[in-house]
């Protein structure tokens, strides 16, 4: 649970004292006919757009990942440089190894990425890594197998495989069991159905009518936002006071987001803009990821549905944000030691299966956000998706308004350039 | 999330006599299955919509007993054969006994 | 994807041939007793029951399910009740549909929760007590590396 003082402290900090220049709340149309956020749109400069200290969402793992890199900090154990020498042959129980490689509680474990013969009943293994069903016949000695699992970087510095030993997921004796099991793998895997074979599994296609409220419960956000639009805040004004006709005035705005905000020296996405702009104008406080903020963020993009995403990268600062974002996608983080690119770039894990889930590439991942998530039965914005991915790979999540997430969203949006907004989406 | 929001219902406003029309319904409800625990490890009690009824001009068309495996925000799609003008009445009953109802009229032409 | 075998369902255990291989319904006792209760001793017939389910559900929280049973839906001959069972769920009965001739079609769809990969069993009864049964397997993905 978030500490009670968090949101209240944030409210105090989003003080009335420091507003940006309150120019006309006008939109500027650029040479492409698209609307851009005029950098004089009033925004609250002081304070954060989400509670501090940031605490993880209830229901998410409470494990502490401070011993590993996050997008904002460096903490992982040093990379092993040399393979470890073993005292003698591996003593392990292949039956225990067979269970460990399929253990979903250990980061999806080996089956997340590898076909491994009959392990886990060959039930929806992934194919990010090579098929290991015949590794027992590959002529690898115990020491090589042990070290590959313990820390594959000693043999392949470019690997995307987690360093299971160096990062403490498996201890030496468990790795021994795994090696003993690997040595028994000498036959191609036999699948109960073609669906289990990741090489034959049909790629999922999203065909649902995401704008039909009967298909997509996430459409609640549009109706809620339309109500909020007219609801006065403490200042007596509401969105409609300046934006009487959002369907016309904001028809393309959201497609230009996120943008570089010089007054805050960071990238602002729609969600953070809503928090700061509402506070500076109507006085309402809609923190990021609150129901109200999510509804308005959905609505603002919904108004721009059909408009191609296109960011303003003319300023040096915007281009630097892009570069920082790109660097963040190759930054290895978490106990599993993977980067965004490791899973989402087609030259690594992208367009392959991790267990039973398809890994999409970066392009095509933003145009439908915020999205209704059927597994969560709620609407998630892109920052929450970043937080979830971070935690899933064993890295601490950052607050949704972290500047790193801003840079990442900027880079991601640039990869989605030209794709038309289609919000709210519906996904797993 | 409770049955506070209005249910969503989709059906044609008009049909020909004897036509079979499609009806889609969605209601906002967490459908708490009684198996989840909160952060303190305490089981969240079961609370679901357990019954849905659709009547036309007072006669039963279609009904459903829902159990905990019906997904949150329960969606039900079914059909109705209309012979005359009238009113569809829909009701959703919660475990706690409360009922949400909605009505939709239809014009039936010869 | 769904065939009714010629073996009768008698109380416990329904054998169905699905997609070319025979799978014994290793249903837990609860599912079997619900099925037995619904069946009330009737012998299931072959009939066109279509069960629409994804082959692989994107998650277990919201899986679309559509059922259609071939029936004239007249006063004399109509499907009156349909039982949907998820054999490996904590509570196997998913839903029971009641149809009347005014429904026009013995067809309904909804979205369900599935705890794991399993088969969905659909039993349908007509107003004269004739029983039909079919089943369809669905694989349920539970998180890749974490969801």
pLDDT at B91: 98
pLDDT at A37: 55
Classify residue B42: in a domain, yes or no: yes
Q: Which residues of A touch B (CB under 8 A)?
A: 1, 58-59, 213-214, 217, 220, 377
Query: Which of B20, B59, B76 is nearest residue C110 as measured by Cβ atoms?
Result: B76
* CB pair distance less than 8 Å for A377 and B28: no
From the list C55, C54, C60, C58, the residue with the least C-alpha distance to C115 is C60
* CB pair distance less than 8 Å for C110 and B63: no
Report residue A375 as tokens: 């597994």
Nearest residue of C to residue A110, measured between CA atoms: C145
* CB pair distance less than 8 Å for A359 and C144: yes
What beta strand segments (E) does A22-139 contain?
27-29, 35-37
pLDDT at A47: 95
What are the angstrom distances between the C-alpha of A401 and each of A42, A287, A405, A406?
A: 18, 10, 7, 7
Nearest residue of A to residue C141, measured between CA atoms: A356
- Gap from A216 CA to chain B (nearest CA, Å): 10
Residue B66's domain is classified under what CATH number?
2.60.40.10
Classify residue B3: in a domain, yes or no: no
* CB pair distance less than 8 Å for A201 and C56: yes
Classify residue B55: in a domain, yes or no: yes
Report residue A193 as tokens: 């159905």
Q: How far apart are CA A58 and CA B43, in angstroms?
A: 14
Query: Which of B5, B24, B38 is nearest residue A220 as measured by Cβ atoms?
Result: B5
Q: How far apart are CA B29 and CA B2, in angstroms?
A: 5
From first to last of its 428 residues, chain A has per-residue pLDDT tens of 444 445 545 554 554 434 433 333 445 555 444 455 556 799 999 999 999 999 999 889 999 999 999 999 999 999 988 999 998 888 999 999 999 999 888 876 899 999 999 888 888 899 999 999 999 999 999 999 999 999 999 999 999 999 999 999 999 999 999 999 999 999 999 998 889 999 999 998 999 999 999 999 999 999 999 999 999 999 999 999 999 999 999 999 999 999 999 999 999 999 999 999 999 999 999 999 999 999 999 999 999 999 999 999 999 999 999 999 999 999 999 999 999 999 999 999 999 999 888 999 999 999 999 999 999 999 999 999 999 999 999 999 999 999 999 999 999 999 999 999 999 999 99
Nearest residue of C to residue B80, measured between CA atoms: C103
Q: Give phi and psi for C122, each to the nearest 5.
A: -120, 125
Q: How many CA atoms lie within 13 A of A261 on its CB side?
A: 25
Classify residue B2: in a domain, yes or no: no
pLDDT at C28: 67
Q: Which of residues 62-121 of C touch B (CB under 8 A)?
A: 62-63, 66, 73, 86, 89-91, 93-105, 107-114
- Cβ neighbours of C145 in A, within 8 Å: 107-108, 112, 336, 343, 354-355, 357, 392-393
Query: Which of C91, C103, C111 is nearest residue B71 as measured by Cβ atoms?
Result: C111
State whether ipTM is beyond 0.90: yes
- Cβ neighbours of C144 in A, within 8 Å: 108, 112, 126, 353-357, 359
The answer to whether the CB of C69 falls within 8 A of the CB of A209 is: no
The answer to whether the CB of A306 falls within 8 A of the CB of A387 is: no
Say if B37 is an interface residue toward chain A (CB within 8 Å).
no
Nearest residue of C to residue B30, measured between CA atoms: C61
pLDDT at C58: 87
The answer to whether the CB of A258 falls within 8 A of the CB of A413 is: yes
C6 pLDDT above the threshold of 60: no
* CB pair distance less than 8 Å for C141 and A357: yes
pLDDT at C27: 52
* CB pair distance less than 8 Å for C104 and B60: no
| Chains interfacing with C (3 or more CB pairs < 8 Å) | A, B
pLDDT at A145: 97
Query: Which of A195, A375, A392 is nearest residue C56 as measured by Cβ atoms?
Result: A195
Query: Which of C95, C104, C108 is nearest residue B65 as measured by Cβ atoms?
Result: C95
Task: CATH number for C26-140: choose from 1.10.150.240, 2.30.110.10, 2.60.40.2470, 2.102.10.10.
Answer: 2.60.40.2470
Most confident of A61-65, B53-57, C28-32: B53-57
| Chains interfacing with B (3 or more CB pairs < 8 Å) | A, C
Q: How far apart are CA A217 and CA A314, in angstroms?
A: 38
Name the more confident of B79 and B2: B79
B94 pLDDT above the threshold of 90: yes
Nearest residue of C to residue B70, measured between CA atoms: C112
DSSP state of A154: G
Q: Which of residues 47-66 of B touch C (CB under 8 A)?
A: 56, 59-66
From the list A27, A411, A352, A323, the residue with the least C-alpha distance to A160 is A352
Interacting residues of A220 by C-beta distance below 8 A, sequence separation 6+: A213, A295, A379, B5, B28
CB pairs B-C closer than 8 Å: 93
From the list A23, A53, A7, A28, the residue with the least C-alpha distance to A399 is A53
Say if B22 is an interface residue toward chain A (CB within 8 Å).
no
- Gap from A393 CA to chain C (nearest CA, Å): 7
Classify residue B33: in a domain, yes or no: yes
What are the angstrom distances between the C-alpha of C142 and each of A204, A357, A384, B31?
A: 15, 8, 20, 20
Query: Which of B35, B71, B78 is nearest residue C62 as measured by Cβ atoms?
Result: B71
- Gap from C118 CA to chain A (nearest CA, Å): 12
DSSP state of A304: T
- Gap from C2 CA to chain B (nearest CA, Å): 22
Q: Which domain holds residue B13?
A: 8-109
- Cβ neighbours of B69 in C, within 8 Å: 86, 89, 91, 93-95, 112-114
- Gap from B95 CA to chain C (nearest CA, Å): 15
Interacting residues of C32 by C-beta distance below 8 A, sequence separation 6+: C11, C12, C13
* CB pair distance less than 8 Å for C61 and B80: no
DSSP state of B37: B
pLDDT at A36: 54
Classify residue B1: in a domain, yes or no: no
Q: Residue C26 — very low, low, confident or very high, per pLDDT cuts 50/70/90?
A: very low
The 10 Å Cβ neighbour count of residue A242 is 15
Structural domains of chain B, count: 1
Q: How far apart are CA C93 and CA A320, in angstroms?
A: 57
Could you tell me the pTM of the whole model?
0.88
- Gap from B44 CA to chain C (nearest CA, Å): 16
- Gap from B21 CA to chain C (nearest CA, Å): 9
pLDDT at A29: 56
* CB pair distance less than 8 Å for A108 and C147: no
- Gap from B33 CA to chain A (nearest CA, Å): 14
- Gap from C31 CA to chain B (nearest CA, Å): 14
């Amino acid at each position: 649970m978030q500490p009670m003082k968090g949101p209240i402290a944030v409210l105090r900090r989003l003080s009335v004292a420091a507003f940006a220049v309150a120019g006309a709340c006008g939109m500027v149309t650029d040479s492409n006919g698209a609307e851009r956020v005029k950098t004089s749109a009033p925004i609250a400069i002081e304070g954060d757009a989400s509670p501090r200290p940031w605490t993880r969402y209830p229901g998410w793992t409470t494990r502490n990942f401070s011993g590993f890199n996050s997008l904002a900090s460096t903490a992982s154990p040093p990379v092993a440089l040399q393979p470890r020498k073993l005292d003698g042959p591996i003593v392990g129980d292949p039956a225990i190894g067979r269970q460990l490689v399929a253990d979903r509680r250990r980061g999806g474990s080996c089956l997340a990425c590898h076909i491994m013969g009959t392990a886990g009943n060959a039930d929806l293994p992934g194919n990010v890594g090579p098929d290991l069903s015949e590794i027992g016949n590959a002529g690898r000695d115990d020491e090589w197998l042990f070290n590959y699992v313990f820390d594959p970087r000693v043999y392949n510095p470019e690997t995307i495989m987690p360093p299971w030993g160096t990062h403490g997921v498996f201890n030496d004796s468990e790795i021994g069991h795994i090696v003993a099991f690997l040595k028994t793998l000498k036959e191609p895997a036999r699948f109960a159905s073609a669906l289990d074979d990741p090489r034959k599994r049909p790629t999922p296609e999203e065909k649902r009518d995401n704008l039909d409220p009967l298909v997509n419960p996430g459409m609640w956000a549009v109706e809620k936002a339309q109500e909020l639009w007219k609801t006065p805040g403490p200042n007596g004004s509401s969105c409609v006071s300046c934006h009487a006709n959002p369907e016309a005035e904001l028809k393309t705005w959201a497609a230009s987001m996120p943008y570089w905000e010089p007054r805050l020296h960071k990238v602002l996405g729609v969600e953070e803009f809503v928090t700061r702009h509402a506070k500076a104008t109507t006085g309402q406080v809609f923190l990021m990821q609150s129901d109200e903020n999510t509804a308005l963020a959905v609505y603002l993009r919904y108004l721009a549905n059909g408009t191609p995403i296109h960011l303003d990268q003319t300023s040096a600062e915007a281009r630097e944000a892009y570069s920082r974002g790109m660097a963040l996608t190759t930054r290895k983080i978490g106990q599993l030691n993977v980067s965004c690119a490791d899973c989402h770039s087609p030259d690594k894990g992208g367009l392959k299966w991790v267990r039973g889930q398809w890994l999409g590439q970066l392009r095509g991942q933003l145009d439908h956000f915020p999205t209704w998530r059927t597994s969560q039965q709620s609407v998630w914005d892109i920052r929450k998706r970043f937080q979830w991915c971070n935690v899933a790979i064993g890295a601490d999540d950052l607050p949704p308004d972290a500047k790193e997430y801003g840079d990442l969203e900027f880079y991601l949006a640039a990869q989605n350039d030209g794709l038309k907004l289609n919000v709210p989406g519906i996904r797993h | 999330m409770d049955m506070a929001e209005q249910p969503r219902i989709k059906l044609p406003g008009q049909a020909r006599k004897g036509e079979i029309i499609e009806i889609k319904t969605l209601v906002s409800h967490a459908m708490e299955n009684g198996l989840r625990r909160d952060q303190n490890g305490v089981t969240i009690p079961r609370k679901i919509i357990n019954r849905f009824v659709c009547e036309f001009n007072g006669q039963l068309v279609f009904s459903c007993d829902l159990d905990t495996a019906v997904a949150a925000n329960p969606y039900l799609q079914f059909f109705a054969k209309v012979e005359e003008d009238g009113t569809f009445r829909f009701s959703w009953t919660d475990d706690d006994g409360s009922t949400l109802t909605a009505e939709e009229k239809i014009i039936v032409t010869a | 994807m769904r065939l009714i075998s010629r073996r009768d369902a008698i109380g416990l255990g329904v054998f169905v041939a699905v997609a070319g291989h025979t799978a014994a319904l290793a249903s837990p006792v609860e599912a079997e007793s619900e099925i037995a209760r619904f069946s009330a001793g009737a012998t299931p017939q072959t009939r066109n029951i279509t069960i629409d389910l994804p082959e692989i559900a994107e998650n277990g929280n919201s899986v679309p399910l559509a059922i259609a049973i071939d029936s004239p839906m007249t006063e004399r001959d109509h499907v009156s009740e349909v039982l949907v069972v998820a054999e490996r769920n904590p509570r196997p009965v998913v839903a029971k549909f009641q149809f009347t001739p005014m429904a026009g079609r013995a067809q309904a769809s909804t979205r369900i929760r599935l705890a794991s990969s399993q088969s969905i069993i659909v039993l349908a009864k007509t107003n004269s007590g004739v029983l039909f049964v079919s089943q369809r397997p669905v694989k349920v993905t539970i998180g890749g590396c974490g969801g």
